[in-house]
Amino acid sequence: MAADGFFRIALGVEYKGSRYRGWQRQASGVLTVQETLEKALSKVADSPVSLLCAGRTDAGVHACGQVVHFDTSVERSMKAWVMGANINLPHDVSVSWAKVMPAHFHARFKAIARRYRYVIYNDQIRPAHMNDEVTWNHRPLDVERMAEAAQYLVGTHDFSAFRAGQCQAKSPIKELHHLRVTRHGKMIVLDIRASAFLHHMVRNIAGVLMTIGAGERPVEWMKEVLESRIRRSGGVTAHPFGLYLVQVEYRDEFQLPERYIGPHFLTGFSELDG
């Protein structure tokens, strides 16, 4: 129970972010994932529902492992929360699971790690399919150079050079657990896991890695950018289209349901697991 007479419910959520101005509810008339999901859940509860999420994604960014929670006095089965929400949601937002949580659970503040994947379609010709679900780069990219450069970022660092100017994080120091770069046919996947992320951090890292992969800068440029702690030293911010929040991790005490680490079109590549 979250409070006397209330239940705290956690949900697993996935969405295609292309139509939305990000996760966070904004001014009236601006389409966001949060407001869309709150409206659907409020119909199930027959009362207002207000959500808190693990990570606020930007406009155009997708999620297949978002975690949210809300408090309610309404009693519903977990199946009713999932199926009822999905009946009332548009095609590009889906609830995958629901679970009653203890009062001290918090989707954002109890998360111990977050994981993103950035998917690049690497070919001279732009793709007609999934063009808002992957980032197209027409230049031949050297994955080995990108993977070598990525290792400069693993560990605990000041990531100010990869931080957007409007970032509200209290500290630019974050611990990056892994950053893997792998090729799968025409697709290149950046798989990045950290304790937490700064605003635009993954997209700024992706921009530097693609510049290095194209041979426009040496591998060591990644180290120079990191140590500069100056955002403008790192070049352009990569597009949001290929970015997915794929996993949010919590301590074992919460025992949240586990699903595949997406996006779904990558689930056949076993070398991405881990």
**What is the band of 172 on the pLDDT scale with cuts at 50, 70, 90?**
confident
User: What digits encode the pLDDT tens for the residues 66-84?
Assistant: 999 999 999 999 999 999 9
Active site residue 58: yes
User: What digits encode the pLDDT tens for the residues 47-67?
Assistant: 999 999 999 999 999 999 999
Confidence (pLDDT) at 273: 66
Confidence (pLDDT) at 270: 67
**What is the band of 274 on the pLDDT scale with cuts at 50, 70, 90?**
low
Confidence (pLDDT) at 90: 97
C-alpha 129/C-alpha 206 separation (Å) is 22
Residue 20 labeled ligand binder: no
Average pLDDT over residues 184-200: 94
pLDDT > 90 fraction of the chain, expressed in percent and rounded? 84
C-alpha 39/C-alpha 4 separation (Å) is 25
Q: Which of 58, 92, 132, 142 is catalytic?
A: 58
User: What digits encode the pLDDT tens for the residues 93-109?
Assistant: 999 999 999 999 999 99
Across the chain, mean pLDDT equals 93
**Segment among 203-207, 233-237, 262-266 with least mean pLDDT:** 233-237
Average pLDDT over residues 252-260: 93
Confidence (pLDDT) at 91: 96
**What is the band of 204 on the pLDDT scale with cuts at 50, 70, 90?**
very high
Average pLDDT over residues 218-246: 92
The yes-or-no verdict on residue 1 having pLDDT over 70 is no
Q: Say if residues 82 and 89 touch (Cβ distance below 8 Å).
A: no
Confidence (pLDDT) at 28: 78
The yes-or-no verdict on residue 5 having pLDDT over 80 is no
Confidence (pLDDT) at 189: 97
Q: Coil, helix or strand for 41?
A: helix
The yes-or-no verdict on residue 164 having pLDDT over 90 is no
Average pLDDT over residues 23-47: 93
The yes-or-no verdict on residue 185 having pLDDT over 70 is yes
The yes-or-no verdict on residue 3 having pLDDT over 60 is no
C-alpha 263/C-alpha 148 separation (Å) is 24
Distance of CA 261 to the CA centre of its chain: 11
User: What digits encode the pLDDT tens for the residues 122-149?
Assistant: 999 999 999 899 999 999 999 999 999 9
The yes-or-no verdict on residue 221 having pLDDT over 90 is yes
**Domains located in the chain, CATH noted:** 7-109 (3.30.70.580), 112-244 (3.30.70.660)
